[in-house]
Amino acid sequence: MVPHLITALNGPINELEQRILESMPAIERWFRLEWMEHTPPFYSSVDVRNAGFKLAPVDTNLFPGGWNNLTDEMLPLAVQAAMAAIEKICPEAKNLLLIPEKHTRNSFYLSNVQRLTQIFNQAGLNVRLGTLDETITKPTTLTLPDGGTLTLEPLLRTPRRLGLKDFDPCTILLNNDLSGGIPKILENLHEQYLLPPLHAGWAVRRKSNHFQSYEEVAKKFAKLLGMDPWLINPMYSQCGQVNFADGTGVDCVQSNAEALLAKVRRKYKEYGINEKPFVVVKADAGTYGMGIMTVRDPKDLEDLNRRTRNKMSVIKEGQEVSEVIIQEGVPTYERMNDAVAEPVVYMLDRYVVGGFYRVHAERGIDENLNAPGAAFVPLAFAEASHMPRPGEKPGASAPNRFYMYGVIGRLAMLAASYELEATDPDAEIYE
């Protein structure tokens, strides 16, 4: 189950929506059984693209920002989910140490930190903020757009524990995706819960691992519903050793793009989809919408202009791109006042707690919307007259539509759970 939201549009009738709604109890039970075997990520957000003929996650964020974009109405759901999460991890906990990103001048990001603080505070934890920014050597108060304040404090490391002055937390929650590498101060913390784990950070994580796990999840789920997994799964391939600046390895990207486009074309033919396929090339460890390129024709990769080469070479915190993922492009046919939109689903523990539309007026249906100029339209709770009704015509009910988005979001979250298990450096292997 999922909060029932007013989606921005009522799209075309969709067989998938009908199938998902009809199978609601079976789907919920399936997730319940999966969560008996797997641990959900502490929190996550998933970008979903709805092509009408296909609905798929295109990005799963394990250090979600943007909590401030959720409506206030969703706060109780988030707090309730946070209570459930904490109860499992550290029920005696008094204190939570939250480690945010370093870019503290971004007031949107600070509002996100404020909202996270509020959620965990209301779930019954004293929340304080520790920063990885070593230039901050004493408590530093920042003012927020709404007049509130946040205080960043320098981290205090002892041989076995991490905290702040007079603050010893049970759980350390990272809202910093570690794109710049794993800081020494976070290593070897075996007495405290460090969440998400270090290998969930972009210093270690790879999109290709995630989508490999997602493929596995999508196949299981598709079997449950008796459908083609492609309807919810974006195909992909990958290349290592790519250097867009000097052209090394671009031939690999090109041939993979070509092969993938051919596969997509066959699928489009199978389903009678009258569209021009495209693929999206992304840094395998990239985030923040950086290092992303839409490719409609592999030939375009031959002579990239300087700007594109630069864009594809360096991502967040100056990290160089060398591994890339080539992913089937899923156009988004959601629109809000003519601007292209994609739903983003927010989860805490195994619960969907909210979502919003990322809307971009200057981008096309086949482009990444996570870019400067994007706006966020919160999805409000359903009106009384919009109670989800399994009997309702597919596509006609906004809450039903959002239920479907929540299912896809949770499939991606489950994939992240598989992914983190598979990539856990401390995992014990049982043969």
Asked whether 244 and 320 are in contact (CB, 8 A), the reply is: no
CA atoms 185, 190, 191, 192: torsion sign: positive
Q: φ, ψ for residue 110 (rounded to 5)?
A: -65, -35
Residue 110 as a binder of its own copies (CB under 8 A): the answer is no
According to CB under 8 A, which one of 4, 205, 401, 410 is a site residue for its own copies? 4
- Return the half-sphere exposure (C-beta side, CA atoms, 13 A cut-off) of residue 353: 33
Q: Which residue number, 118 or 212, has a Cβ lying nearer to its own copies?
A: 118
Among 51, 58, 113, 123, binds its own copies (CB under 8 A): 123
Does 404 bind its own copies (CB under 8 A)? Our answer is no
Report how far residue 403's alpha carbon sits from residue 17's, in angstroms, rounded to the nearest whole number. Answer: 9
Query: Using the rule CB under 8 A, is 89 a contact of its own copies?
Result: no
User: Any idea which residue has 């596509």 for tokens?
Assistant: 395
164 in contact with its own copies (CB under 8 A): no
With contacts defined by CB under 8 A, name the span among 89-97, 234-242, 283-291, 334-342 that binds its own copies. Answer: 89-97
Tokens of 261: 């486009």
9, 84, 204, 273: residue in contact with its own copies (rule CB under 8 A): 84
Contact flag: residue 1 with its own copies (CB under 8 A)? yes
Q: Which is nearest to 95 in space by CA: 131, 63, 123?
A: 123
Rounded distance between C-alpha atoms, residue 291 and residue 320, angstroms? 10
Query: Please, which residue, 33 or 396, has the CB nearer to its own copies?
Result: 33
15 in contact with its own copies (CB under 8 A): no
3-state SS assignment for residue 276: coil
d(CA 402, CA 382): 10
Classified as helix, coil or strand, 406 is helix
Choose the stretch contacting its own copies; rule: CB under 8 A; options: 30-38, 57-65, 311-319, 421-429. 30-38
The two beta strands, 95-100 and 351-360, are: unpaired
Q: Which of 55, 79, 217, 369 binds its own copies (CB under 8 A)?
A: 79
Outline where DSSP puts E strands in 269-428.
279-283, 292-295, 324-328, 334-336, 339-348, 351-360, 375-378
Exactly one of 16, 20, 27, 62 binds its own copies (CB under 8 A); that residue is 27
Q: Torsion over CA of 348, 100, 69 and 385, rounded to 10 degrees?
A: 20
Which of residues 97, 125, 283, 407 is near its own copies by CB under 8 A? Answer: 125
DSSP 253: H
Phi-psi region of 74 (alpha: psi -120 to 50; beta: other; left: phi over 0): alpha
Tell which one of 20, 70, 86, 173 touches its own copies (CB under 8 A).
86
Residue (36 or 429) nearer to its own copies, CB: 36
Whether the Cβ atoms of residue 122 and residue 114 lie closer than 8 Å to each other: no
Q: Measured from the CB of residue 281, what is the shortest distance to its own copies in angstroms?
A: 38
Calculate Rg over the CA atoms of the chain: 21
**Interface of this chain with its own copies, residues 379 to 398, rule: CB under 8 A:** 381-384, 387-388
Query: Per rule CB under 8 A, is residue 427 in the interface with its own copies?
Result: no
Q: Least distance to its own copies from the beta carbon of 347, Å? A: 11
Q: Is 376 in the site for its own copies (CB under 8 A)?
A: no
How many of the chain's residues bind its own copies (CB under 8 A)? 46
Q: How far is the CB of 101 from its own copies (least distance, A)?
A: 24
Residue type, 162: L
Q: Is 25 in the site for its own copies (CB under 8 A)?
A: yes
Residues 207-246 that bind its own copies (CB under 8 A): none
Q: Is 28 in the site for its own copies (CB under 8 A)?
A: yes
Tell which residue, 310, 313, 312, 322, has the closest CA to residue 292. 312
**Closest to its own copies by CB, 26 or 262:** 26
Q: Which is nearer to its own copies, 79 or 194 (CB)?
A: 79
Question: Which residues, listed in sequence order, are joined to residue 162 by a DSSP beta bridge?
Answer: 157
Residue 420 is a binding residue for its own copies (CB under 8 A): no
Candidate segments 83-91, 218-226, 247-255, 367-375, binder of its own copies by CB under 8 A: 83-91
The answer to the question of residue 154 lying near its own copies (CB under 8 A) is: no
Q: Rule CB under 8 A: choose which of 8, 16, 58, 93 binds its own copies.
A: 93
Pairing assessment for the beta strands 149-154 and 126-131 based on DSSP bridges? parallel
Q: How many angstroms separate the CA atoms of 348 and 128, rounded? A: 19
Q: Enumerate binding residues for its own copies (CB under 8 A).
A: 1-4, 24-29, 31-33, 35-36, 71-73, 75-77, 79-81, 83-84, 86-87, 91-94, 118, 121-126, 351, 381-384, 387-388
